[in-house]
Structure 1
Amino acid sequence: MKQINLLIGRPTPNLQAADKLAAASQIILSQPEKSDLALTYGPDYGEDSIREHIGDWLSQKYRPVSGHITQDRIIITNGASGALAGILQKFTDPSYTRRIFLVEPTYFLAVQTFLDAGFGQRMRGVPEDDEGINLEYLRHQLEEDGKTDDTPNTDVPRTKFPAQGYRKLFKYILYVVPTLSNPSGKTMSMHHRTALVELARQYDILLIADDVYDFLAWPADDSISHEGLELPPRLVDIDRQMAGSSEWGNAVSNGSFSKLAAPGLRMGWCEATPIFIHGLSTVGATLSGGCQGQYTSFLVDEMLVSGILKHHIHNTLIPTYRRRYRALVEAIKTYLYPLGIKISTGKPYETFAIDGGGNRAPTILSGGFFLYIDFPDGHQFPSATEIIRIGREEFGLIIAPGEIFAVKGDPEGLKRAQSTFNLGTRLCWAWNEEAVLIEAIQRFAKVVQRAQVLPL
């Protein structure tokens, strides 16, 4: 029996834009005026023209109320993971930053970056609610944290000093995937986005938003095209739009071309206030060699300016993922719903798109890479551990244990997981073709039925 992996979260190799990248590379390398720049150490921010083009692209897609996204708000990075590490290096200090909050269930591979930055015992999970984050839980944690003496406060000396280039350190960090979240698939409501920015300003929180799935969105209504779909405003957009924003801001958008062109590119961008972006450009690894995505940024820029990247996203990626998502959902409803397993959706995010008649029509946002399913809560249903074991050993099915999405370092996190998201699992549709996804869910049903007949 061939193994089927529902845990892996990456695009199928045939969706990687190899031919388009090869063509872009040929263009860049055959023109000395471009290759000379692409192959040398680049400016710390990245090339001005490429940053300008990314700002134009983002402005066209998000249409921010606060106006056009200028190049001074953009820095080229070596992908979202590398940028996260750089942000923590430059804007946090374990002797000063009180807590690292992560919305849970969380993207489990991001956790190690926070551990590496020295925040193991300062990490806390904030549960999701149906609108993307439990704001009251977060507010309570912030209030309680301010009463304790075992965490740093403004009177505690920093180990990083302004004279060394650390002009701003944040008291708190909150890591979140607001749109089409990994792992839950939920999209944060507009109310929660605004309230979260307000809370961030009140408590000096830096909101690090992984905005990596936004461009892989489509209407839930299959009769409406994904062309013209209106995306939710990012936290960084709301922070810029609301009156009273500080020069450093309280949000940074962490973007990546890994999901749009190819993961191996290791190239992305961050957007924030100009002074924040300048600070990020002074991370040691960047000062040592300039832009950390220099050559690959030229490849992406060629695809961006020519329209090839947009064509790849709109005519290859979204239609493919939309079909796979539909096949996965229908299979779950057919084979798992009768067993009591349901898709965990949260509150749908209502937006607009252009219908077949050219009209602005209401719809529900869908897309990304992942959805989450919930197992029934009861003694009659097999444990998640047993389902995972039987799936792996007897049916060649790789399923993620929900507990991996808990926040390490939070003593209460695993306890919460046992009664919430560990009673379920994340499923990815980006890696497998439709027929394989259907077979995977058929196997999943057999796993559950097999576990139900085993003695307790």
Structure 2
Amino acid sequence: MSTAKRPVDLQTGWPNPGLLPPARLESAAHTVLSDPDLTRESLKYGPDEGYPPLRESVAGWLTRFYKPQDAISYDRICVTGGASQNIACVLQTFTDPVYTRNVWMVAPTYMRCCRIIDDGGFGNRLRGIPEDEEGLDIGYLAKHIETSEQNAIAEGNLEPKLKTRYPWRKIYKHIIYAVPTFANPSGKIMSLERRKQLVKIARKYDALIITDDVYGMLQWPGSATANKSVLGGAVLPRVIDIDRYLDGGPTSEWGNAMSNGSFSKIVAPGCRTGFAEATPKLAWGLSQCGSTRSGGAPSHLVASMIHQMIATGGLDDHITNVLLPAYAKRYRRMMQAIRARLFPLGVTVPQPDKEVAGGYFIWLTLPSGLDGEEITKRAEEEEELMVCAGPLCNVQGDEGDEAMRFSHNIRLCFSYEDFDALDDGVERLARVIKTCMQE
């Protein structure tokens, strides 16, 4: 048994409590609640599309970081209750549980998203798209989405069956879910060419691409000696930016992509505030989801506080001077430990020598013959170490392809645990792997 003094958590995908900005939130709250006009506006139900000043400030903030060809207008922004809640609203508004054929998810996938999609009525129609070195196997998707479409035609599934047509609603035939930049869990970056190909497929098959762009601003040079210019803006255009301009722009007023954003990773999860960007038509349609129409955009009060953080430069300062240095240091410490302790055992990681790194996670592939679930169980029992077994990142319900079962993988998170415990956690994992290899 290990003589470790305390548990080490490399599983939880949260920000470390020491990296949260309570003082900035307190200052923003004081500004809002000490001004009678701001107080009155922020304590109302608020408009469906969200707190207007936040929509404006988010549009400008995104424009400065992603640098699209044209400035992002506020009517492309809809305030949400966070990325997860928003996916549920998208399914409620833009899918029909009978007519919509499948929900396609890049695999390995964000584990909690499967439950949201299951609740939307698609539990038996979740389909995985395997990753390759460019972030998504576009040939696999093209082949299988065509088969899905032909099956729907043969079955006579040609019109929405359950959802009523309204001016704010378009029912898509397919949903495609991906985390293109610093993917959860693999950490991969989808290439520019694959992003373009993905948009073309979405247009061809009437699919809505939902991209979780929650890690895009958390990027840093892969090593301390790498080019620091990566800190000046986005590593690649988002899929929403590509849909906005590729081949003349969207083929309809609805478009085929939506960027799903959140302040959970860069302010605090408890804020429960996010934003979606899409064409003005789709953004407005999203705001007409029944649960939003009942009382206006969610998280109205906190939205007013986050607007203050953006408007005063406080959020950019927090990201630049607190989060990026801390996460870069954490990532490099964990990668240094992985190279020293796990690579000699035959463990591998995708793109080990990244020029640009980011996000929260590192995805491990174990040597042949080792089982991720067994390693995870023994790590907790023998070393008081918590890690995430690869099969938790399977696309739930799609068990047909062995390459998308991830039984030989483990996900590590470097964002949550205290910095000084990261090296120790990797060392504990190495002991477990060595023991299993010797048995």
TM-score over 0.5 for the pair: yes
User: Residue 396 of structure 1: which of 366, 384, 390 is its match?
Assistant: 384
User: Residue 211 of structure 1: which of 210, 213, 216 is its match?
Assistant: 213
The answer for the alignment partner of 1:329 in structure 2 is 335
3-state DSSP of counterpart to 1:247 = coil
User: Residue 426 of structure 1: which of 387, 411, 422 is its match?
Assistant: 411
The answer for the alignment partner of 1:360 in structure 2 is none
The answer for the alignment partner of 1:17 in structure 2 is 21
Contact 2:82 2:262 (C-alpha < 8 Å) held by counterparts: yes
Contact 2:134 2:194 (C-alpha < 8 Å) held by counterparts: yes
Q: 1:30 to 1:372 in 2, by over 3 A?
A: same
What do residues 340-393 of structure 1 show as CA deviations (whole Å, max 9, x unaligned)? 112222895xxxxxxxxxxxxxxx22111011111122x4xx322321222111
Structure 1: where are the runs of 5+ without partners?
Answer: 349-363
Distance in 2, matches of 1:372 and 1:298, equals 37
CA displacement at 1:157 relative to structure 2: 4.5
Instruction: Tell me, yes or no, if structure 1 residue 279 matches structure 2 residue 285.
Output: yes
What do residues 34-57 of structure 1 show as CA deviations (whole Å, max 9, x unaligned)? 011111110111122221111000
Instruction: Tell me, yes or no, if structure 1 residue 409 matches structure 2 residue 397.
Output: yes
The answer for the alignment partner of 1:261 in structure 2 is 267
Distance in 2, matches of 1:140 and 1:22, equals 52
3-state DSSP of counterpart to 1:249 = coil
What do residues 305-331 of structure 1 show as CA deviations (whole Å, max 9, x unaligned)? 000110000000010000000000000
Distance in 2, matches of 1:150 and 1:388, equals 44
Which deviates more from structure 2 when the two are superposed, residues 404-413 or residues 8-17? 404-413
Query: AA paired with 1:416?
Result: A
1:58-207 pair list within 5 angstroms: 58-65=62-69, 67-148=70-151, 155-163=158-166, 167-207=169-209
TM (norm. structure 1) is 0.91
Distance in 1, matches of 2:7 and 2:135, equals 33
CA RMSD of aligned residues (A): 1.7
What do residues 250-270 of structure 1 show as CA deviations (whole Å, max 9, x unaligned)? 000000000001000000100
Query: AA paired with 2:385?
Result: L
Query: AA paired with 2:414?
Result: W
Query: AA paired with 1:172?
Result: H
Q: 1:152 to 1:431 in 2, by over 3 A?
A: farther
Which deviates more from structure 2 when the two are superposed, residues 318-327 or residues 397-406? 397-406
Q: 1:411 to 1:339 in 2, by over 3 A?
A: closer
CA displacement at 1:399 relative to structure 2: 1.6
1:33-72 pair list within 5 angstroms: 33-65=37-69, 67-72=70-75
The count of corresponding residues between Structure 1 and Structure 2 is 431
Contact 1:98 1:152 (C-alpha < 8 Å) held by counterparts: no
CA displacement at 1:228 relative to structure 2: 1.3
Distance in 1, matches of 2:394 and 2:155, equals 25
Which deviates more from structure 2 when the two are superposed, residues 145-154 or residues 171-180? 145-154
3-state DSSP of counterpart to 1:197 = helix
Distance in 1, matches of 2:324 and 2:318, equals 9
Distance in 1, matches of 2:152 and 2:13, equals 41
3-state DSSP of counterpart to 2:336 = helix
Distance in 1, matches of 2:196 and 2:333, equals 34
Instruction: Tell me, yes or no, if structure 1 residue 306 matches structure 2 residue 312.
Output: yes
TM (norm. structure 2) is 0.95
Query: AA paired with 1:200?
Result: A
Contact 2:100 2:171 (C-alpha < 8 Å) held by counterparts: yes
CA displacement at 1:152 relative to structure 2: 6.2
3-state DSSP of counterpart to 2:334 = helix
Query: AA paired with 2:200?
Result: E
Contact 1:98 1:153 (C-alpha < 8 Å) held by counterparts: no
3-state DSSP of counterpart to 1:118 = helix
Instruction: Tell me, yes or no, if structure 1 residue 451 matches structure 2 residue 436.
Output: yes
Q: 1:333 to 1:404 in 2, by over 3 A?
A: same
CA displacement at 1:150 relative to structure 2: 8.9
CA displacement at 1:231 relative to structure 2: 2.7
Contact 1:97 1:152 (C-alpha < 8 Å) held by counterparts: no
Query: AA paired with 1:404?
Result: L
Contact 1:96 1:152 (C-alpha < 8 Å) held by counterparts: no
3-state DSSP of counterpart to 1:181 = coil
Contact 2:373 2:391 (C-alpha < 8 Å) held by counterparts: no
The answer for the alignment partner of 2:356 in structure 1 is 365
Q: 1:342 to 1:157 in 2, by over 3 A?
A: closer
Which deviates more from structure 2 when the two are superposed, residues 218-227 or residues 144-153? 144-153
CA displacement at 1:146 relative to structure 2: 2.5
The answer for the alignment partner of 1:237 in structure 2 is 241
CA displacement at 1:149 relative to structure 2: 5.2
CA displacement at 1:151 relative to structure 2: 8.1
Query: AA paired with 2:145?
Result: L
Distance in 2, matches of 1:227 and 1:146, equals 42
3-state DSSP of counterpart to 1:311 = helix
CA displacement at 1:291 relative to structure 2: 1.3
Contact 1:107 1:182 (C-alpha < 8 Å) held by counterparts: yes
Contact 1:96 1:154 (C-alpha < 8 Å) held by counterparts: yes
CA displacement at 1:410 relative to structure 2: 1.4
Instruction: Tell me, yes or no, if structure 1 residue 248 matches structure 2 residue 254.
Output: yes
3-state DSSP of counterpart to 1:255 = strand
Q: 1:157 to 1:335 in 2, by over 3 A?
A: closer
Deviating above 4 A after TM superposition, structure 1's stretches of 4 or more consecutive aligned residues are: 149-154
Distance in 2, matches of 1:47 and 1:14, equals 29
